[in-house]
Structure 1
C-alpha cells in the first residue's frame, strides 16, 4: 500500500485529535506547532456526551472517563443562588448514552499527546503560507533558523481562530467577530477546594452583563470562569481584586472560590467567534478543522467537542474514499452543523450577556419557566451526535 502522508498544523486538542484519528487510519502524520514546546495551557474543559462518543471512536474514552469528573447534572442559577434550570445526569445519560465530564484542559491534552506515539512533533514552526495542487499541499513555516517548507498528501489546518492558513486560503474572509464580552478563568487547588465543598455539578450563574461558572475537575480541583460584557480591547485590570469587586456579593461558593484562587492560575481572553460562515472548510488538499473553521463562543460549551468530532468525521471519510471525495464529504457534513452552532452561540452571547434590565428579567423568567424535558431538547442538538459508521 502506498504511504499516505498528512501534516497537521496546530498541537492543541483539535490538532492532536486529528493526528490520532489519521494515525489510526494508517496515515503517516507530522504535527507542527508554533509554541516552543507541546506544553498544555488553559483551565477547565467540559466534555459533552457527543465528544465522549468521538473520543471512544479515537480509543480514548476510557482514560478520559478515568481522569475526568462525571457531572451529576447541569444547572443554571441566578446571582442570588436561586436555581432556574436543572438537567440531572440521569436524564443526560439516559437520553444520550454518555456522561458530561469535566477535567483540566491540560489533562485532556496530555491524554491526546500520549496517544500519538510515533507521530513526528515539531515545535517553533509558525505556518505562514500554504499552496496546494493535484498532487500535494506545501506549507511554509517561519522557524528560529529561517523559513522552511514541508509537503504532504493532506494538510489539516487546526491553527486556531486566528488561523493564518485560513487567511492564505480565503484572503477575502473577514475573520473573527468580537462576541461582546471577556472571560476570566481560574483553578482552585484541591486542598483549598476541599474546605469549600463544591458538588460535582456544572453550575452557571447569571447576573446583569455577567455570568459565573463552576465545575469540579480532576484531582480535586475546582475550575471557574467569569464573563463580563465590555467593549472590545477594553483591557480591564487582570487581577482577582477586580473580580471580587464584581462577583464578591454573588451566591456561595463564588466569593470563596475567588478568595482561594492562586493569582498565577488566572487567565483572561476576549471572546471571538466566526460569525461569517466560510464558503468551504476545504481547499485543494487542505482541510480546516476546529476553531480555524468554525469557532464558537463558550456559551454552548462545544468548542473543543466540535473539533474532536471534526477529526473523527475527516478520518472516517478518508478511510472510504480518495482525498478529493473525502474532503468533499467532510465539508458538506461538517459545515451545516458547526456553522449553525456558531450562529447560535453568537445569539446566545447577546442574550446571556445583556445589560438591559428588562431583558435580564425576561431572560431569567423564560429560563425559570423552561421545563427539564425542553431543556434536554435544547441540549439534544449537540449531545445526540454520533460518529459516522465505518466504511
Structure 2
C-alpha cells in the first residue's frame, strides 16, 4: 500500500487529491483481447485506489448517498412492463417518463459498479447484482436477446431491421434516441462485469449485442447511415468492447455498423466536422474510434481520435475544459460571444474525460492530463451541489448566471445519468 498526493493548481486555486493505492490484482472481470497499441501509461484500477479526506471524497460520498436512496425496482419499472411482466415499483419522473426511459438504469448500473470498486460498499454491489438478475428475467421474457425500457422499443427496432427508417436527428421512427438508450444499458452491464465480476452481466450483454446485430445485419450502407443520423451514443465503443470481451470478430462488424460517415470521414481526413453539430452526439463516436484503434491498430481510427481531440480541445473548448453552447459546437476559436446560462453541457465533459484517457495511455504526454485536470476540477467537481449531491445539466459561464441542479427523483436528464458516474470515478487516473 502506498499513499499518493496529487496537487492540482488552476489559477489561484489549489486542490490536493490524496489517495491510497493498494497492492494486488483487480477483483473484477477482464477483457480477453489485449490492446495492439503500445500502452505507455497504465492506471491503477479503481478497486486499488481509495480517496482520503478532501473535496473529491466529499463529492463521492454525496453521490453514493444518492445512489443508495434510488430504488432499482423503480428504474426497472418499464423494463418489466415492456417484457410483459408486472412492475415491482412505479416509474420515476422526469425523462424516465418519456421515450428515453431506461437510460438512467444503465448509468445507475455503471455508477453502482464503479462506486463499489471505488469504495467496497456492499450496498452498491447488492444493487448491481439485483439489477442484473432482474434484467435476466426481462431478457428471457423477451425471447430474442432484447432487453430495454423503451416504449415500443421492440416494434421500432423491428421496423429498422426491415429498412423502415425515419429520423430528424434525435428521433428514430418516433422514439427519442433508442440506440443511445441501449448503449447506456450495455455500458452498465459491461461495468457490472468488469468491476463486480458479475458474469451473468457479461452473458446478458453478449446476448443483447447479438440481438443488436440482427437489427443491422441486413441493412445496406445507405440505410445504416440514415439510421445513424439519429444520436446513437457509444454503440461503436460497446461493440468493440464486446469484441474485447469475447475475441469474436463478428462484433467488430457490429462496430462498423455504427461508423457515422458524415462526421467521421471528414475527421479521418483531418477536417473539422464540428461547427454547427450537436456536441455530445459526436464525442461518444470518437471514444469508439479510440477503442477500435486501441484494439486493432487500424490507423484510420487513430487519426480520427487524435485529430478530433486536438480540434475540440484547442479550438472548441472554454477555459473550464467544457465545450458547447446550448449543446452545439460553434465556429472554431469563437467562444467569447457564446456565453449564456446554457454553456458547457456536463455530459460533454464526462465524455471528453473518457476520450482523453486512452490518448494519454498511448502516449504518456502530459498535455492530455493537463486538460483532464482542468476539466475535472473546473467542470466535473463544480457540477455537483456539495450540499445534497445533485448535479447540473449546464455549467453556465455568463456573468450573473446561476447553476440549476437536478432533483433526486424527478429529473433524470442525460446529465443526471452521467452525474451518477462522475463522482465515483475520481480514482481512475492515478497512474503507476
Same fold (TM > 0.5): no
